[in-house]
Amino acid sequence: MQTLEALARDARALANGEVVLSAPETEVARQMQICNACRYCEGFCAVFPAMTRRLAFGQADIHFLANLCHNCGACLHACQYAPPHEFAVNVPQAMAQVRGQTYADYAWPPALGRLYQRQGLTLSLALAAGLALFLVLAVVLQGQGLGALWSAPGSDFYGLFPHNLLVGLFAPVFGFATLALGLGVRRFWREITPATSGAPLSAPATAEATGAVLRLKYLDGGHGDGCHNEDDAHTLARRRYHHLTFYGFLLCFAATSVGTLYHYLLGLPAPYDLPSLPKLLGAVGGLSLAIGTAGLWRLNLRRHPLHGDAAQKPMDRGFIALLFLTATSGLALWAARGTPALALTLCLHLGAVMALFATMPYGKFGHGIFRTAALLRHAVEKRQPNPIGLGAD
């Protein structure tokens, strides 16, 4: 419950036209004041060096720091003021709660962001199932009966769904995801830029942030032994599964892009066989994505309860489940070519891919983009003179 003093402070701020912090934002500001006096965790990640450049924490600072945090858990396990200490410092959890709020705050359209935040797993699976069912019905109607679903149509996907129909289905979904993500990250960038020196991007800052993203630098715990998952022990498992997932996804995306070039530039329509480039990229990417997401799911189930925000579990698991479904159904599609299972497998795969793109702007994928933006601003800010003349980057 808010104290009378806090309520009076909020009322004063509202009357003066100032921003009133939400409860999770106020909690991050409180903990950052304690950490700023302690500074024991300075070497763990980018959050603490960024914190030392501030004496007060406004909303934009808090949103910036929350998205800079990778939820590695290192500062919780190192903290002498963590619960049950009366200071109750739990930086990963406080940051996770604000981060979840920023996904919804910056999402476009906002109602979808809030819905996905509450019902991520259900929404993802229902959307994938609904879209797959829609495609099943299309095959049945087109083939004049249920028999069309279980027959051996050879290995030609376009015999089931003409190429132009697939483009007509996927282009709007992909366009919507890109637009929604772009609008969300633009709002985020505009808010945090003035709070992070306002200086423009430079080539060295961009190179540093890109390196940190590609190597997942801050999941090494600051010492190379990794971060935490279910207990005090360091583990590199999270970093490795994240890498498998991240690069697996990129390879799958590259496979689709190269396939598009084959189709339009070389006049070579899918399906492709080994050792063609689209097939190689897709096979390696699909395997990597399947292993990475299976590992992340397992780690998520065993995650220390104090690390994150329990309310965001459905959202996190929804994203992992859709990525896993996309990868495994894509691999299954390869095996199903020339068999009666082709039509059903193709419907399931296309449904999963479409649901993945439709929900991308609202969950963990958005976190990857927002986090990249925060790392870019951090790399810019640390190159500017320290505004309070204390500490060092």
Q: Which of residues 123-162 bind ligand SF4 (CB under 6 A)?
A: none
Nearer to ligand SF4, 28 or 354 (CB): 28
What's the CA gap between 360 and 371, in Å, rounded?
A: 15
Out of 9, 10, 22, 38, point to the residue binding ligand SF4 (CB under 6 A). 38
CA atoms within 13 A on the CB side of 168: 5
69 binds ligand SF4 (CB under 6 A): yes
Nearer to ligand SF4, 43 or 159 (CB): 43
Residues 6+ apart with CB under 8 A from 124: 318, 319, 321, 322, 355, 356, 359
Q: Which of residues 73-92 bind ligand SF4 (CB under 6 A)?
A: 73-75, 78-81, 89, 91-92
| Min CB(61)–ligand SF4 separation in Å | 14
What's the CA gap between 153 and 159, in Å, rounded?
A: 7
Q: Which of residues 325-354 bind ligand SF4 (CB under 6 A)?
A: none
96 binds ligand SF4 (CB under 6 A): no
21 binds ligand SF4 (CB under 6 A): no
Out of 45, 270, 321, 336, point to the residue binding ligand SF4 (CB under 6 A). 45
The 208-237 contact track toward ligand SF4, x by CB under 6 A, reads ----------x-------------------
Closest-CA residue to 226 (of 367, 40, 216, 298): 216
Nearer to ligand SF4, 40 or 158 (CB): 40
What's the CA gap between 288 and 20, in Å, rounded?
A: 44
- 176-215 burial, b at 16+ Cβ within 10 Å, e below that, comes to ebeebbeebbeebbebbbebbbeeeeeeebeebbeebbee
40 binds ligand SF4 (CB under 6 A): yes
95 binds ligand SF4 (CB under 6 A): yes
- Before 49, cis peptide (omega within 30)? no
Nearer to ligand SF4, 279 or 382 (CB): 382
Nearer to ligand SF4, 46 or 251 (CB): 46
In one letter, which amino acid is 40? Answer: Y
What's the CA gap between 379 and 183, in Å, rounded?
A: 22
- Sites of contact with ligand SF4 (CB under 6 A): 34-35, 38-41, 44-45, 47, 69-75, 78-81, 89, 91-92, 95, 218
